[in-house]
Chains A and B, each alone.
Chain A
Amino acid sequence: MTQLALIIDLNVCVGCSACVTSCKEWNTSGPAGPLSDRNPYDADPTGTFFNRVQTFEVGEFPQTETVHFPKSCLHCEDPPCVPVCPTGASYKRKEDGIVLVDYDKCIGCKYCSWACPYGAREIDEQQKVMKKCTLCVDRIYSTTLPEADRRPSCVMACPTSARLFGDIHDPDSVVSRAIRENGGYALMPEWGTQPANHYLPRRKTSITIHKDQLVRADNPLKIDGKLPKPAKQEPTLDDVTSW
């Protein structure tokens, strides 16, 4: 069993929204039709997105940290949005675990969006069908794109590699290792939806250096002290000798 997923590293996400624009660019130009916008260059712009970067401030001043939080469909292993769909337009693919919407079957009743605790689904106001992240299913299985480009466009765009893509059911994959070794967690575990996408927490990177490590304490032959010390006018040791 394969379960494709994104791993989002909150430790390195800088909130640049490159994943948002890149996702929108790819998915609005595809064969499935545009992700419609309303007033895109006017007051109150609004539109359909698969992926958004939100910002949270954690802690109280001055001990605060700004956390940029990219949010898209989590491709739950037990997706609550799928069984409620009356037409079968919402489905979870057996072969790779991607949750998809068949835009030709969707009647736009919005019931699936009510059934998603993460707010990952957005209706397209123009096409009147429910839309959501497809994990760029048209990229990752593409036969025309170069091999290196067969990844979701948000992953391609991320300048800090905060987004990893892979199969979380394969214990040796990059994503499984990232979850295992960096404390990857799922969102709202209380609802038992088992999201496939995981988030890697903020981590403090630090090492401890003691004072005695700054000088060479272990110099048993005392060679360092016996080196010739030329006068200031004389050529330096490096100029005259090859040691």
Chain B
Amino acid sequence: MRPAFSVIFLTTLIGAGQGLFLALYTGQLYAFFDLLPAQDSRSFYAAGSAVSLAFLGGGLIASFFHLGHPERAWRSAAQWRTSWLSREVIVLPAFMGMVLLYGGAHWFGWNTPLFELPGGRHVDPTLILGAVATLLCFMLFVCTAMIYACLRFLQEWHTPLTVINYTLLGGASGFVLASAFSAIAAPQLPGFYAGWAIILTALAFLGRTASLVRNARLRPKSSTRTAIGIKHPHIVQKSPGAMGGSFNTREFFHGKSRAFMRAIKPAFLLTVFVIPLTLLAMGMANPSMLGAALLSATFILQYLGLLAERWFFFAEAKHPQNLYYQCVS
């Protein structure tokens, strides 16, 4: 497949935004159970929600560049019964709305306790809004990944690992972002977030490696024989039915050399997993290093790596229609 940059930016930006929101809410839950010091509503939760919304909004804007008719984008909410893309189109704005409400509730101090839990803890509206947003956040991960995982003949994508990896990579990216954000807004928390970022990045590394190993061992179900229905071991295409290429030759081939494909894999493995893990581990070992500079650099580096990772995710998939376009006449 030819990777579309609009989709690469959409999936990586909303992944980081979703992860950041999850990090904020995790922090609030920890504080709720007195495991972490409580943070300022405005400068931490509301500001953090704004950063999260900026990433989500950036992703949403990027997605419009993928459309031939962006002015008709509203129609795409229609087929939510069957289409994962349609479901994503509904869940993304819903999630953004809930993050806005969550951030707004923190900003305006809507923390009048609604009811009391047995332990004497007071549940306020922000906690409820955050829980709903968390649910939507995971639904969004599933919707985004299922857009690709539901296509059964794109065998590289048709696996639960796709959903797992989208969730873990988004979470890892968001928690690294949260650690960088907290280095500015909540000086007690970078260590907490960096710890979670290490766990999520390590899990994402496992998941992504598993999918790389799986995809390297895949045997394509379709062949030229099933494509044209002639059972002969030796079939060569002589003409694809077009001289100057067509949509089919542009959309489904990434057009990069084998050397490039070989190089990008270690490149993203290093920048998404190895280097960020090393930097975060160094920071954990020596907390004085866990400053905004190191953590921001880690986030930016990992984000750039995720762009490469997502590029590779799309480029790696071999569409069966390519069997009809094996030569240029």
Residues of chain A at the chain B interface (Cβ within 8 Å): 20, 39, 43-49, 52-60, 66-67, 69, 71, 80, 82-89, 105-111, 113-119, 122-123, 125, 127-129, 185-191, 199, 201-202
Contact = CB atoms under 8 A, between A and B. Distances in A.
Interface of B: 1, 66-70, 72-73, 75-79, 82-86, 89, 147, 150-154, 221-222, 224, 226-230, 232, 234-248, 251-252, 319-322, 324-325, 329
Contact of B150 (A84, A86, A122, A187): A84
Nearest to B252: A119
A109 B244 contact: no
A46 B249 CA distance: 10
Most chain B CB neighbours (cut-off 10 Å) among A54, A89, A111, A123: A54
B83 A83 contact: yes
16 contacts: A46-B244, A48-B247, A49-B241, A58-B234, A84-B83, A87-B75, A87-B79, A87-B86, A106-B72, A107-B68, A107-B75, A117-B319, A118-B324, A119-B248, A128-B69, A190-B222
Contacts of B234: 58-60
A49 B79 contact: no
Contacts of A47: 246
User: DSSP class of A's interface residues: helix, strand, loop or mixed?
Assistant: loop
A126 B158 CA distance: 32
Given A69-B228, A86-B89, A116-B321, A43 B235 contact: no
B241 A52 contact: yes
A65 to B, nearest CB: 9
A54 B251 contact: no
B85 A84 contact: yes
Contact of B79 (A69, A88, A128): A88
Given A71-B241, A87-B75, A107-B67, 13 more contacts: A53-B241, A55-B241, A80-B152, A82-B82, A83-B82, A86-B75, A87-B78, A88-B78, A107-B68, A109-B68, A115-B151, A122-B246, A188-B320
Given A86-B78, A122-B246, A59 B232 contact: yes
Given A105-B72, A111-B85, A187-B227, A117 B243 contact: no
